[in-house]
Structures are given as structure tokens and as C-alpha cells.
Structure 1
Amino acid sequence: MKTRFRGSSAAAAVVAGLALASAVTAPAAVADPAAPPHFENGFGLTVVQQPAWVEESEGRRTFTFSVSSDQVPTPTLLPGQIAGQHLIMVTLPDGYDNAAATRYPVLLNLHGNPDRPNTVPNLQITERSTKNTPLITVAPNGVRSWYSNWVNPGAVGPQNWENFHLGQVIPLIDANLKTIGTKEGRAVVGHSMGGFGAFHYAEHRPDLFSYVGALSGGLDLLSQEVRAAVIGTSVDSSAGVPTVGADAIFGPPIWPFDGIWNAQSPAQHVASLRGMGVAMYTGNGGNLLDNPIQAVFENRARETNLVTAANLNAAGIPYYFADYGDGSTWAPGCNGKHAQQPCLQADMDHFVPLILQRLQHP
């Protein structure tokens, strides 16, 4: 059954990290006579590939472009990615005109691992959930980042992902598109590792966001299962190459050297979300004998959301929690697993109207 909790308010992130839907070949970008907006360099970013429409986009709403960043000059790579480049996918509202005066709110959408922003499922989920909606959606590259400034990146060089996304991507988008470039016009959401990133970013920079959401997010770094997921995504070549050390992102994971893990855990640091809209979506994994890996991942992700909900309750911060069990009452084709497109589509179909109740928009 679907249960919704309102508070006065990845194993889990193994959830978060290892179990996003299988990577799908990226949609091809093609030229179009009605060109997408042109982007200028700035904020430490160099535009190395100008925006081009994505072939699979309905109505030419989605384009991709690529940048290089001085904050993450050498990101680790998944198949199909280009060394030294960060691809960013942008979905525009229907009827968007970069020459018009109308400005739109922005949703920063963070993917999980192993995944990329511009897979076909990510494109479909975004376009379907924002159809006929006055919202710009920005999905940046995140690889195995855990959406954090790494403390010990080693040979791969600086991996300041938080600086990249918040200090560079957001202002670049605001400078080149018709956005409402204030907190009142901005929200952040993510799936799996990206759910961690969404809460992490919102807690660190409440001045930037009016709403935060996590879809099956691994939110509790005090969980040994989540720590295993972070380490797994660091040392596993399927999460990106080259691999990095187990201590690369948050330092040593073992007491008494795990202070950064504790300090960066979203579940325990919800106080700065006060006044912000907060939403979480999880299943319970459903039948554990059906796709047991993703069933267990989702089940464990849910536990981190329960910890977060308890801390939001204790802090008196309102939130929305769609705890939809085996998914049978949430959406057709959803059976509560971790990386199911029908579940994630239903999550985003609910989240987008929710944020528009709060965000400034046309």
C-alpha cells in the first residue's frame, strides 16, 4: 500500500550508488535550424560544445552542451564520456523563447551512479513530468561524485563537485537562459546518489533553494551500508574510470577518523532546511525474490529516509514522504524497486507540481 507521511514536520546508498538503472546509450544531439540558446563562458567554465538539440526530445525541448571546469578538470569517466568534459542536459518549457522577457524557475536534477544525465530514461522522465509546465530542468554530470568536494582525490586531481555545481553551473545557467535566478525560483532533486546530493546541497546552501526532493536517496552517511556504497562506487570500475581510493571522497570511513562522514551526512543535519519545502519518495523493495539486488537497495534506501524523517520531525520541519511500499498503488509497472522507470516517473510527476506550488513562476 502507499502511505504518505506528513511531518510537522546506497546497501542504502548501495542503493544510492550501485543501483541506478542500467546505463543507456545517450540520446544523440543533432543540429536544428531553430537553434537552441548560445552559451557564453563564465564562472570558471569554458563551453567546449555549444548546445545542440537532443534527437529524441519531443518538440525540441531538450538540448545538451559540454563545459570544462577548473573545479573538476579531470572527472572520472563512464563509457561514452569525453575526458575533461562535463555534459549538461537542459529541458526547456514548451514555448520557451530566449529573446522574450518571460523568466522561469529552475529545477536542478541530480542523477545517481552509475548513470549519466542524458540517458534515454532520464530524458523521458524529465520531459514527461515537465510537459506543459513553466519550468527549466538542468541535469549536470555527476559521475561518482557523491556531489561533494573530495578530501583526498589523489592522482585524479581536484574533484570539487559542490563548487562546480553550485558555484559554476547554476550561475552559468542563470547568465545564459531566462531564469528566475533567486532562491524563490530554484529547487533541487535527485535519485539515489543524487538524492543524497540534493539534500547535501540544500543543507549547505539554503540561500539557493526553495524546495528539495530525494527519489530513493541514500541520505544517512552514519549507516554502514551507505558507507559501503560510497566505497563501492569509489573502487568499482563500473562506476567510472580510473577508480579512486576508498577514502577519496569523505576520508577514512572508520572511527575515530570518520569525522567528515559524520559532518556531511544529510540525515543528521536537517536544521538548515527549515522554511524550505522538503519531499522524499521511496518504495520498500517489494518482493525480495524479484530482482533481489534492486529490491534490497531500495529497502535499505528507505531506512535512510526514515532516519531523515525522524530528524525532521524532531526539528519540527514539515515535509512530504511518499512511502509507497511495493509500488502497486503508486504507478502501473512500479513494484517498489530501486531504479524502476515507472516508479521514478511517478515520483517526478508528483514532485514537479508540488514545487510549483512554492516556486515563483509565470
Structure 2
Amino acid sequence: MTFLRFTTVGAAFTLAALTGTGAAHADAPNAAPAATASAASASAVPAFTDGHGLTVVPGSTEVHSPTDFTITVTTKQLSGKHKIRILLPAGYDADPGRRWPVTYFLHGGGGTVNDVAAAPALHSDSMITVVPDGGLKGWYADWLMQNTAEGAANWETFHLTQVVPFIDANLRTRADRAHRAVVGLSMGGYGSLHYAEARPDLFGHVAALSGGIDFGMPQVRAAVLATELNLTGAWCAASSSSGSGKCTGFGPYVDSDAIFGSPYPFFDADRVWKAVDPAAPANLAKLSGTGITLYTGNNDIIDVHTEAASKTVKARLDQLGIPSRLVNYGNGASLAPSCDGGHNYGCWAPAFADYVPRLEAAFAAAR
């Protein structure tokens, strides 16, 4: 495998080649956040108690609807304040004795918790959906460098050892792997597959949509590097649900080795990349007994690479004898009129509309 030298100029060139400047992307529904809730509206949502390393910021709750709200928390694992958006089933209040399955949705690079509004199927009356902040370029990882402009950046620890038990402690969940899923797209597609591999005890179901799920591909490594260097482009624009088709970027410039260390495949310098590579057979083997679904198109300069990554993962799962489902919708014609086969919510929203009923059935069948 041959890699470009990952200098700033080289990364810019690589990302330009990967994403293009004129790639067409369907606009997704605008997901503007709600204003901070009044005391009356905030009282209509469940009260959350601090715990598991998370402190709820008082007076910060945003109520989008009676079953859709956002809380803000702080943690020593991350610098600053971070939002968690929560979607409850319509019957949550009416049936106080019932416990519910939970799906965690991981947004893409340059996105926010509000991107979930662009995928209506995730607001299901059969499950709770939790959307934790993943950072503009958090990559669902505990960063190797904690002294960058981002400060503390232990995203994996935040999500897996704090958010999950915090949600189970504060909401009426079914807290077992058979009733817990992790799903994500783009950067979040990597996060979902990696989290399912890292903690198979937590997640019994996983879905990755247009995911950067093969760290053996130089194009995927280049995309990670581009986020570190804040080189915005089509990948950023399409990973956010902004109605303008553009995201705000990936945040401040950080060292190109900040997240996973050196990307160079020489003298084992890229050992962290290989250790967390979702496509590595040793990691895929951990998914035995997990419901696995992959979605991808192939009709733009980004999803042509996510298609290759998804095919690799599918082939290796087949070799391991682990069942999985790959939906390659190509140019999008087989999926939905809104889908052009590209890296955008015009495809991801109908992909979730296809996936969620299957997930709901799996939850219902689990004991």
C-alpha cells in the first residue's frame, strides 16, 4: 500500500482528490436547534441526575417537542460543554412501567446532535434514541494527544463509560445488549462499528452508513487527517444536515498525529490505526452474535470509497462466518427518489427508514 506523505499541502491535495470541490450533494432538512427551554417546558421532560462522571448544566435543557429534548453536560473527559439529544417514544410517559430499547446515533464529521432531525425514522415509538455530541472531529476516539487546541478529548471514554450508564440510570431503558444498538454515518459509521467491536457486551446491533470503516485505505486515513488540519470540503458539507449544504468546519487545527498517531505504515508507526481498524479481521471477529448492517452508495467521489470499505468489511465477515447485511444502493435509484447515491442525508434518511423497522423487530424478538 502506498501513502502520500501527510504534510499539510499533501493532505489538502489528497482531500481535494478524495472529495472534489464540485461534488453535488442533496440538501438535507434544516435541523436548527431550539431555544433554551423555559422552566415550564423543561419541567415536561424527565429530570436527569448527575452521575457516571457527567454533570448536567442547570437551565440548559432545550425542548424541541414533548418527546424530543437536549440536555447539556460537562465531564473531565472532554473540554467544554457537550449536548446529548434524546428522542423518546410517544408512549414513554403514558406507560410508566415499561422499559424501552435504546439506539445511539453517532453523527458525522462537522455535524452536531441536531443532525438527527434529518433522519425522522430515528424518532421511533418503539425505542429511545440518544444522540451524544461526537465533536466536529472527535472520531469517537480517546485522542493520543490531550494538549492540542481541543484540550481533553476522550470521546470513547465519554460515550462508552459515561453516557451509556448515565442514560440507563436516568431513563427507563432495557439495559442489555439485545436491546441496545449503535448506528452512525460517515465519521459516525466508523464510530458505530468501532464501538460495537470495542464493547460487544454493550451493543447487540450495529449499523454503519457510508462509513469510514476501513483504516487500511489511504483515502480514509486522508479524510481523518483532513479533519485534524481543518481542511473543509465536500466530506464536511455532506456529513452535516445543514440545509445550506455546508458545515462550519472541523474546529481548530491540531497536529496530524493527534487522534490516532502517525498514519505512516512504516516500522509499525501506524500501530494505533491498525489496532482500532474496524475492518481488521481480529476486530470483526468480536462481532459474532451481533446484528450487523452496512449501507453505502457509490455515486460520488466519497461514497465510491465507502463502498470499497463496506465491501471489504462484508467479505471479511463472510470469511469469518459472521452474518451481516450489506445494502449497496449504487446510484440511489433502488433506495429512494431523494437519493443520488452520494454521501448525504438524501440517502441516509431513507436508509434509516429501511433499517429502523428491522431493528425494531429485532428488539421485539429479543428476550
TM-score (norm 2): 0.82
Matching of residue 66 in structure 1 with residue 75 in structure 2: no
2:77 and 2:122 map into 1 onto residues whose CA distance is 31
Matching of residue 153 in structure 1 with residue 146 in structure 2: yes
CA 1:28/1:123 → structure 2, altered by over 3 Å: closer, same or farther?
farther
1:263 and 1:20 map into 2 onto residues whose CA distance is 35
CA 1:46/1:233 → structure 2, altered by over 3 Å: closer, same or farther?
same
Per-residue displacement from partner, 1:273-297 (whole Å, max 9, x unpaired)?
0000000001112xxxxxxxxx101
Counterpart for residue 320 of structure 2? 315
Counterpart for residue 6 of structure 1? none
Report runs of 4+ in structure 1 exceeding 4 Å deviation: 18-24
For 1:283, give the aligned amino acid.
G
CA 1:311/1:192 → structure 2, altered by over 3 Å: closer, same or farther?
same
Counterpart for residue 253 of structure 2? 243
CA 1:248/1:20 → structure 2, altered by over 3 Å: closer, same or farther?
farther
Identity of aligned residues (%): 39
Kept after mapping to 1: 8 A contact 2:34/2:62: no
1:88 and 1:193 map into 2 onto residues whose CA distance is 18
For 1:270, give the aligned amino acid.
L
For 1:272, give the aligned amino acid.
K
Matching of residue 106 in structure 1 with residue 102 in structure 2: yes
Per-residue displacement from partner, 1:142-198 (whole Å, max 9, x unpaired)?
111110111123233331111100100011111111101111210000010000000
For 1:311, give the aligned amino acid.
R
CA 1:157/1:278 → structure 2, altered by over 3 Å: closer, same or farther?
same
Select 2:337's aligned residue among 325, 332, 336.
332
Residues 118-133 of structure 1 correspond to what in structure 2 (within 5 A)? 118-119=114-115, 122-125=116-119, 127-131=120-124, 133=125
CA 1:305/1:112 → structure 2, altered by over 3 Å: closer, same or farther?
same
Counterpart for residue 11 of structure 2? none
Residues 77-226 of structure 1 correspond to what in structure 2 (within 5 A)? 84-97=80-93, 100-119=96-115, 122-125=116-119, 127-131=120-124, 133-143=125-135, 144-155=137-148, 156-226=150-220
Q: Say which SS state the counterpart of residue 327 (structure 1) adopts.
A: coil
Kept after mapping to 2: 8 A contact 1:111/1:142: yes
Task: Give the drift of 1:35.
Answer: 1.1
Matching of residue 300 in structure 1 with residue 294 in structure 2: no
For 1:233, give the aligned amino acid.
T
2:215 and 2:94 map into 1 onto residues whose CA distance is 41
2:188 and 2:173 map into 1 onto residues whose CA distance is 23
2:182 and 2:346 map into 1 onto residues whose CA distance is 21
1:345 and 1:195 map into 2 onto residues whose CA distance is 14
Kept after mapping to 2: 8 A contact 1:20/1:115: no
For 2:254, give the aligned amino acid.
V
Counterpart for residue 345 of structure 1? 349
Task: Give the drift of 1:21.
Answer: 7.0
Kept after mapping to 1: 8 A contact 2:61/2:72: no
Task: Give the drift of 1:310.
Answer: 1.1
Out of 269-278 and 232-241, give the one that drifted further: 232-241
Counterpart for residue 221 of structure 2? 227
CA 1:215/1:176 → structure 2, altered by over 3 Å: closer, same or farther?
same
For 2:127, give the aligned amino acid.
L
Supply the RMSD in Å over aligned alpha carbons: 2.5
1:192 and 1:114 map into 2 onto residues whose CA distance is 10
Kept after mapping to 1: 8 A contact 2:189/2:212: yes
Kept after mapping to 1: 8 A contact 2:36/2:63: yes
For 2:110, give the aligned amino acid.
P
